[in-house]
Amino acid sequence: QLLRDIASYYGYNEFLTEKLFNLFSVSEAIEFFEANEVPRPVTIRANTLRIRRRDLAQALINRGVTLEPIGKWSNVGLQVFESTVPIGATPEYLAGHYMLQAASSFLPVIALAPEGNERILDMASAPGGKATYISALMRNTGIVFANDANKARTKSLTANVHRMGCKNVVVCNYDGREFPKVMGGFDRVLLDSPCSGTGVISKDPSVKLSKSEKDFQLLGDLQRQLILCAIDSVNPESKTGGYVTYSTCSVTVDENEAVVDYALRKRPNVELVDTGIGFGVDGFTNYREKKFSKDMHLTKRFYPHVHNMDGFFVAKFRVNKPTRKKDVQKSTEVDAATESAVVEPGPLTGFDAEEDQAIIDKWERQHVLKTKGIKIRPKANNAAKGSPAVPAH
């Protein structure tokens, strides 16, 4: 009856009400649902490539903005209380002095802790808040690959990269599951995974009614595939890195601890390490009938009713070089769900160079003929089946 009353009062479907209610004690659950009805504070991140936070704060105060530092945990964040000017259209904003960015979205980058001259992948980066923050922390050295699977969203990503003066960022448009096939060997990878959005209900109330059990199953499958691809994209022999940060703007266990536990089981050369974030609630080591890795307490959860920021989850992995033969076999076998394999450093074996060269030469000859507009006759067995000749271009 209580669940039905909460669902009816706050406007959730019963499935999601029960899912969220089970995360907390009764009194805390009510606080959580109540906090989702109140908007989170507006926060901005000073772009240290262009300006110091103190100078930005002074410039905005002079324009009639009331603000203060976001908290001791961030040296670039500012919380805006009220403003007489639109905060997303000031000359400072247009000049790239700051980014409108939720406080929770600082956290995965703080956990990733990028260093100068590294090669970093942000797997799902639009609209670019995290990628530009990484670039600023690296002082425009090294290289950041800002990837997003949605081509339409790469427009805003590219615009923000230019506005913020990030010269070490390359924008790319791949499905995250194509890594490391298209590119690998990164020092660090940030995966802010697509999720149900149960941590940002105050921004997107449509979540209350739109999510079903099937949605969580599909998202869980995608997240499991992406996290293995993220791990496989890291160079375990990196001198400075070898880290993966996994985060979601969701509070459900299915999308957080369950996914992290799956990654630990599938990749034995991976271990959880401390996120380096000085606050937050420890992740669940067990939840209802599920038992997770004993290291799960190293992950961090953030709640709207506790930390006054969007619900969020952050985990940090260290990718070690597979040592035991058993580890190598387990980590390199192609996972049925992902068809992704670890790219092992060192000399390649099992390839016939002469045979490969013959195939390369054949295709190069065909390519030259095609470019000259010469039709290439199909092989006799294809012709017998009635397959058409390759048209000239």
CB neighbour burial string for 179-189, b if at least 16 within 10 angstroms, e if fewer:
bbeebbebbbb
List phi, psi (to 5°) of 320: -95, 160
3-state percent helix, strand, coil for the chain, nearest multiple of 5: 40, 15, 45
Residue 99 forms beta bridges with which residues? 45
Token pair for residue 355? 């045979």
The answer to whether 49 touches 136, Cβ cutoff 8 Å, is yes
Nearest to 78 by CA among 105, 103, 108, 113: 103
For 178-197, the DSSP string reads: GTTTSS--BSEEEEE-----
Q: Which of 183, 202, 208 is nearest to 9 (CA)?
A: 208
Tokens of 100: 């409108």
- Structural contact between residues 187 and 176, judged by C-beta atoms closer than 8 angstroms: no
* Angle (CA) 318 321 324, round 5°: 120
Query: What b/e sequence results for 373-388 when a residue is b if at least 16 CB atoms lie within 10 Å of its CB, and e otherwise?
Result: eeeeeeeeeeeeeeee
Nearest CA to 51 out of 11, 109, 91 is that of: 91
For residue 48, how far is the Cα from the chain centroid?
22
Q: Specify whether 166 is catalytic.
A: no
Q: Per residue in 100-116, is it b (16+ CB within 10 Å) or e — as a string?
A: ebbbbbbbbbbbbebee
Four-residue CA torsion sign, 97, 102, 108, 111: positive
Active site residues: 249
